Amino acid sequence: MTDEDRRTTMGGMDHHQAGGAGALTARVQAALHRVRAFDGRRPLVWDAMLTGFFVVAALTEAGGGWRNTAADPDVPSGLVTVLSLFLSVPLLWRRRHPLAVLAVMAPAALVSQWTGALLQAALIQQVAVFGVALRQPLRRLWWAVALLAPPLVVGAVRFPRDGWVQSVGAPLWLFALVVLGAVAVRTRREYTASLVERARRLEVERDQQARLAAAAERARIAREMHDIIGHNLSVITGLADGGRYAAAKSPERAAQALDGIASTSRQALTELRRLLGVLRDDPSTPGAPGEPGEPGTPTAPVTPPELAPQPALADLDELLEGVRAAGLPVRHTVRGEAPPLPPGRQLTVFRVVQEALTNTLKHAGPGATATVEVSYEDGGGVAVTVTDTGGGARTPPVPGPRAEGRGLTGMRERAALYEGALEAGPLPPPAAGWRVRLSLPKDAVT
């Protein structure tokens, strides 16, 4: 056999042994889990079984075996039986009142030591000690010592044949070992409980983060849909109104208005499909009953929504042309040289201009004009001011949560994403009109 074959064989044996040990551990853990589960469901049954075991053991010793270790074998058998019951029956309440159980056992242990019976059933007290260390504040262990020590001292004084080390030292060492075992179990339980609580908190935090992320995404999608649909519908409304007035006098202008409505509608539909396409987990997911994908229905290849880049500063001219076609004269001025702004900030500028002009189309009234000024600062800052000459009301007159529409709120949210500021309000008297100003600082540009 070569060295490689030998290593392969030994590795297989180690793996088999590890697998066997792991399976044995798993079976033991499963059995312990079932025992703990049963104890949790029916604690009284488990307590009765444990108490019954120790009662039988104590009474068996009281049947005559206690004389083998007794200092005085002439102690009445009836007294031994009573002492055995007092040292075992109280265990039924060891879970709820372990220190009280120990206090009930202590007089029986004291009589056993005083009379010289020296019953081994006195060791059952350590079960109550285990319960005190497991479930009670640890400072109460001093009370347990105070209840255990006097019977031991009395026995050592009255019957010194075994010496103090055997009569007092050994039981106290047993007491210490029981306490250490109980503290180890208690620490393990508390550690496991802390892990469970931590897992629960992490799960809650994960759910909260998921809800916050979903809410933020819903707000972003609502903002985008408002900007897309609101602007394009305003342009379509303006074109429709202009086409209606031009139909009687200039059919050519009416046809141009209809062409503009069709173009704007297609553009809005394309952007809406692109936005809604982001929400689909799987473009190939079968549709509802009656749609492609239903059993028995021919399936056609699914065409993904048209993916176009988000609007940027270069698209401002196209936006302004659409607004002018809707009947709103717009003057556009640019100051400074445009820096290479990131796409997110370009989209913010575009959407703010789009929303401001949409509000002008809705509220400024007939005969209004608008001005869009874009100023680029050294270092990357940008300021945009949209002013119109309309006199219509831009906000509902009733104060409260609806004092600002979704448009102004969306513009402020976009500005806040890049540490910018947005101001919107009427021009100071005597001028009539409305002004929206966006400012993105230099340090916000990366």
* 300 belongs to a structural domain: no
* 345 belongs to a structural domain: yes
- Measured distance CA(182)–CA(162) in Å, rounded: 29
* 88 belongs to a structural domain: yes
Backbone φ and ψ for 98, nearest 5 degrees, come out as -65, -35
Residue 179's pLDDT is what?
92
% of the chain surpassing 90 pLDDT: 13
Q: Are 349 and 383 in contact (CB under 8 A)?
A: no
Which structural domain, as residue segments, surrounds residue 438? Answer: 329-395+403-446
What would the pLDDT profile of 42-54 be if each residue is shown by its tens digit?
778 888 888 899 8
* 365 belongs to a structural domain: yes
What would the pLDDT profile of 388-411 be if each residue is shown by its tens digit?
987 655 544 434 333 445 677 778
* Structure token digits, residue 415: 């500005």
Mean pLDDT of 86-91: 90
What would the pLDDT profile of 261-319 be if each residue is shown by its tens digit?
777 677 666 666 666 665 554 444 444 444 444 444 344 444 444 445 577 888 888 88
* 146 belongs to a structural domain: yes
* 281 belongs to a structural domain: no
- Measured distance CA(175)–CA(182) in Å, rounded: 11
What would the pLDDT profile of 144-161 be if each residue is shown by its tens digit?
999 988 988 888 888 887
Put simply, whether the predicted model's pTM sits higher than 0.85 gets the answer no
* 309 belongs to a structural domain: no
Residue 244's pLDDT is what?
65
**pLDDT of 185 above 80:** yes
Query: pLDDT-derived band of residue 436, with 50, 70 and 90 as boundaries?
Result: very high
Residue 31's pLDDT is what?
81
Q: Which residue reads 């993904």 in tokens?
A: 304
Residues 199 and 347 in one domain: no
* 234 belongs to a structural domain: no
Q: Among the three residues 164, 188, 203, which one is the final residue of a domain in this structure? A: 203
Mean pLDDT of 167-194: 89
- Nearest of 363, 349, 329 to residue 432 by alpha carbon: 363
What would the pLDDT profile of 241-258 be if each residue is shown by its tens digit?
666 666 666 666 666 667
- List the CATH number of the domain containing 443: 3.30.565.10
SS3 266: helix
Q: Among the three residues 188, 203, 218, which one is the final residue of a domain in this structure? A: 203
Residue 386's pLDDT is what?
93
Q: Among the three residues 168, 203, 238, which one is the final residue of a domain in this structure? A: 203
Mean pLDDT of 355-379: 85
Residue 373's pLDDT is what?
93
Q: Are 123 and 57 in contact (CB under 8 A)?
A: no
- Parallel, antiparallel, or unpaired: how do β-strands 370-376 and 382-388 relate? antiparallel
Query: pLDDT-derived band of residue 177, with 50, 70 and 90 as boundaries?
Result: very high
Residues 195 and 338 in one domain: no
**pLDDT of 17 above 80:** no
Average pLDDT, the chain: 77
Q: Are 153 and 109 in contact (CB under 8 A)?
A: no
Higher pLDDT, 300 or 223: 223
Mean pLDDT of 85-104: 90
What's the domain count of the chain? Answer: 2
